[in-house]
Amino acid sequence: MRAVIQRVTEASCKVADEVTGSINNGFLVLLGIEDADTQEDLEWLAGKIVNMRVFGDENGLMNKALADVNGNILLISQFTLFAATKKGNRPGFTRAARPDKAIPLYETMINQLSQLLNKEIQTGIFGADMKISLINDGPVTITIDSKNKE
């Protein structure tokens, strides 16, 4: 499981000109799911996301996590995070999980993050053509891969 986490002052997702999710102050999380991913990967990654200390404290240092700043999450499924680009110029996506595996893990991630933060998680729509808008704060952008825990 792979995540690109962007600290934002605002972010939103539209599908067919309808807003499906919108946040102020928090994380826009792009989530890629691969066939090898398990519930253990999901729980580990969810814990990393909610405990990531990248918000400024009273000294301007990145010492605060989402809960410390009453932050929110906009979670977007993004299979392209597993693009294979070594050969040619057209990416391959064979590592990305098929919808029958990815959708249940995506939905479980929504529930896991919601439980950890004790608030609703905003989302896009799995598999839809989404338009994402954001204002990256900092900018702060961090990538995490559950297969690179050490």
Is 83 contained in some domain?
A: yes
Write out pLDDT tens, residues 107-144: 999 999 999 999 999 999 999 999 999 999 999 999 99
Choose among 146, 103, 94: nearest CA to 126: 103
Q: Which CATH number characterizes residue 103's domain?
A: 3.50.80.10
Is 24 contained in some domain?
A: yes
**Res 106: pLDDT:** 97
The proportion of the chain whose per-residue pLDDT surpasses 90, expressed as a percent, equals 86
Is 10 contained in some domain?
A: yes
User: pTM for the full model?
Assistant: 0.94
CB–CB of 31/109 below 8 Å? Answer: yes
The total of structural domains in the chain comes to 1
Range of the domain at 75: 2-145
Is 29 contained in some domain?
A: yes
Asked about 38 being catalytic, the answer comes back as no
Is 150 contained in some domain?
A: no
Cβ neighbours for 30, distance < 8 A, ≥ 6 positions apart? 3, 4, 6, 76, 78, 81
Peptide bond preceding 139 in cis form (omega within 30 of 0)? yes
Write out pLDDT tens, residues 66-84: 999 999 999 999 998 998 8
Is 124 contained in some domain?
A: yes
Is 40 contained in some domain?
A: yes
Catalytic option among 9, 38, 80, 143: 80
